Chain A
Amino acid sequence: GDSVTQMEGPVTLSEEAFLTINCTYTATGYPSLFWYVQYPGEGLQLLLKATKADDKGSNKGFEATYRKETTSFHLEKGSVQVSDSAVYFCALSDPNTGNQFYFGTGTSLTVIP
């Protein structure tokens, strides 16, 4: 079945450090891929998405590239800020399963000044 595996946390970085959060997926069809972010005390928000192979999603300095050959969608940011502290979820939506969403377990990021 479909699934998403993402890097275990928690991750602690200093401000302006480079961030990578790994995400790999298994899907029966041709899924769309997403990163959602959950700031403390808030609901989940879409951060970025990619709907086909080789697409790059980007938002707020974050980016992720849909790599079909490695079934990956790693999240990166060149210089993190304290305000990026949140939990990040990788997810996929597979048209073969009614476009149900499958989420990873989440990676908690803390950025220290």
Chain B
Amino acid sequence: GAGVSQSPSNKVTEKGKDVELRCDPISGHTALYWYRQSLGQGLEFLIYFQGNSAPDKSGLPSDRFSAERTGGSVSTLTIQRTQQEDSAVYLCASRWTTHSYEQYFGPGTRLTVT
């Protein structure tokens, strides 16, 4: 595609519900990254994929967070039993490979937990 796309663009959910956030990377990009940007904060690394595998899951804040990637393309970030502190913008980025210099970011999903 033309760029990294994410859906939904906005999500409002009640505390305790599960949510799924989707990322479609640029076609052919093998590396995919998830970040969280909280209000007034920088980017917090969550997880990255090389192909379908996730060599580094150390950034996931708790076991309520999980992510998968299938077919070396689309990735889904799932947050179970959402809490108010999960409210943030979730950003996805892709790279041609992990050795490429540039990451291309999607527009993000703004998650609000009420």
Taking Cβ atoms with an 8 Å cutoff, the residues of A that contact B are 32, 34, 36, 42-46, 49, 51, 89, 93, 95, 97-106
Chain B residues whose CB sits within 8 angstroms of the CB of A105 once the complex forms: 41-42
Task: Pick from B31, B55, B102 the residue with the most CB of A within 10 Å.
Answer: B102
Q: Closest CB of chain B to A66's CB: distance in Å?
A: 13
Of A32, A36, A100, the contact of B101 (CB 8 Å cutoff): A32
Q: Closest CB of chain B to A95's CB: distance in Å?
A: 7
B99-114 CB mask vs A (1 if < 8 Å, else 0) is 1011101111000000
- Asked whether A45 lies within 8 Å of B105 as measured between CB atoms, the reply is yes
Contacts A100-B56, A103-B43, A106-B42 hold; do A95 and B99 have CB atoms under 8 A apart?
A: yes
Q: Tell me the chain B residues, 31-54 only, with Cβ under 8 Å from chain A.
A: 31, 33, 35, 41-43, 45, 48, 50
Q: How many residues of B contact A (CB 8 A)?
A: 23
Chain B residues whose CB sits within 8 angstroms of the CB of A101 once the complex forms: 33, 45, 93, 103
Cα distance A103–B31 in the bound complex, in angstroms: 17
Cα distance A106–B40 in the bound complex, in angstroms: 9
Please report whether the interface of chain A is mostly helix, strand, loop or mixed according to DSSP.
strand
Q: Closest CB of chain A to B55's CB: distance in Å?
A: 6
Task: Pick from B43, B95, B101, B107 the residue with the most CB of A within 10 Å.
Answer: B43
Contacts A98-B56, A100-B48, A106-B42 hold; do A43 and B102 have CB atoms under 8 A apart?
A: no
Cα distance A49–B102 in the bound complex, in angstroms: 9
Apart from the given pairs A43-B107, A43-B108, A99-B31, 4 other A-B contacts in the complex at a CB distance below 8 Å: A44-B93, A100-B45, A103-B45, A105-B41
Cβ-based interface call for B78 (8 A)? no
